[in-house]
Amino acid sequence: MFVVRDQSGGPFDKWLDTRGIFKNREYLRSAYTPNELPHRKDQIDQLARIWAAPLRGETPSNVFVYGKTGTGKTATVKHLMSELRKTSKDFSSAIEVVYINCEVINTKYRILANVANKLRETMQKRDPDYPKVSEHVPKTGWPTDQVYDALLETLDSVKQVVVMVLDEIDRLVVRGVDDVLYDLTCINSELRNSRTGIVGISNDLDFVSQLDPRIISRLGEEKVIFPPYDAFQLEDILTERAEMSFCDGVISDAAIRLCAAHAARKHGDARRALDLLRCSGEIAEEDSAGRVTRDHVERASERLERDMKEDAIRALPEQSKLVLLSILLLQEQRVPNIGTRDVYNVYRSLCRQNKSDILTMRRISGLISDLDMMGILEAQTVSRGRYGRRKEVELTVEPVRARAAIEDDIYIKNLDSFSDTRQSKLG
């Protein structure tokens, strides 16, 4: 049943009656995975070589895919996993892929349970007559050993190769649950019919070095590096998406080039470039403009930079905010070449003052890498010759805005008393 609207109009009329800017803005969102992945041919070839093994009936190698946010890692892996499943039908090979995001599914129990349940569901879709060899693992309540046994039973119920994609795999180290990798790397020794391989996706190139040596020795991984996009590559990507997303003639080449240039300066992040292009179009809509111009891009860049970083800081967990505040205080004291140990010393003082738990330096190094990945700071590993290497950090957000976002939390208190004493602490 349709309702006739009053002719006086409604709240959406202003936006529905103006000239359209977008044909379909969904093509500018990170959730969209294109059929073609520009400027990633070398990485696709490397991964295809590695993943051809199960098509030949061989055990797949473990693969680690590295690169900063927005370099196409996850999109490429998902695309190739889809192709692997399709191709396996021509080889009469049973190949299944299970995707887990370790940022969301972040405990040993939940990882094992999700792999078991997703695999079981996929196998039943493939073969309705597939025997239910194991129960659906509940979200909680079972001993971890029982969950592992359920996974083993599901894996070995038929002859197959199972690829486990662990996105944001470095989060397992930060959260102290990387022991699940030991179980997953040992699992082939307990299987008779099946074989498994791990695909780890990480923003942290140093991730593997932080693992337990027992895990490292079992991984035997191959590495594929995704470098940041440069401005010309980003321009190609944006031009292709703009043709799909915008109405004809509403966006200039100059606006696209400027979006690419902004994103290229921010670690070559294609995701950021797409967000910037979409936001520029939305600002043009707000202005009731007929075209997206360079001015819209500049305003969109300021809006995204401000909103994204401040929102990200406000959403940080307590320990990450304490780390960020430590760096902020060090910069306010004009401490040069701020290293992880400098940050850790101030962090411990803040924890004592605010009665917070003190994490290990290894965990703090992981949190610094997370903040770097989010663009809140820049962390670079610097060689010091015979004195080894160390990570040096610098904020990329305005100190006043960072402090304001941090101080929104009630637990950050007595900053003035810390400021009075921090010089002696730093000395």
> Which residues fall in the annotated binding site for ATP?
71-75, 229, 241
User: What six digits make up the tokens of 88?
Assistant: 């396996």
DSSP track, 361-427: HHHHHHHHHHHHHTTSEEEEEEE-GGG-EEEEEEE-S-HHHHHHHHTTSTT---HHHHHHHHHHHH-
Which residues have C-beta within 8 Å of that of residue 136, sequence separation ≥ 6? 117, 120
- In this structure, the number of other CB atoms found within 10 A of the CB of residue 289 comes to 17
Contact present, 160 and 91 (Cβ < 8 Å):
no
Cα four-point dihedral sign 198, 201, 202, 206: positive
DSSP label of 167: E
CA torsion, ordered 407, 338, 272, 168, to nearest 10 deg? -90
Give the C-alpha distances (Å, rounded to integers) separating 279 from 60, 203, 275: 42, 25, 6
- Look at the chain and count its residues: 427
> DSSP states of 254-281 as a string?
HHHHHHHHHHHHTTT-HHHHHHHHHHHH
Q: Can you tell me the distance from the alpha carbon of 267 to that of 420, in angstroms, rounded to the nearest whole number?
A: 37
Which H helix or E strand runs over 198? strand 195-202
Task: Read off the tokens for 143.
Answer: 């001993």
Binding residues: 71-75, 229, 241
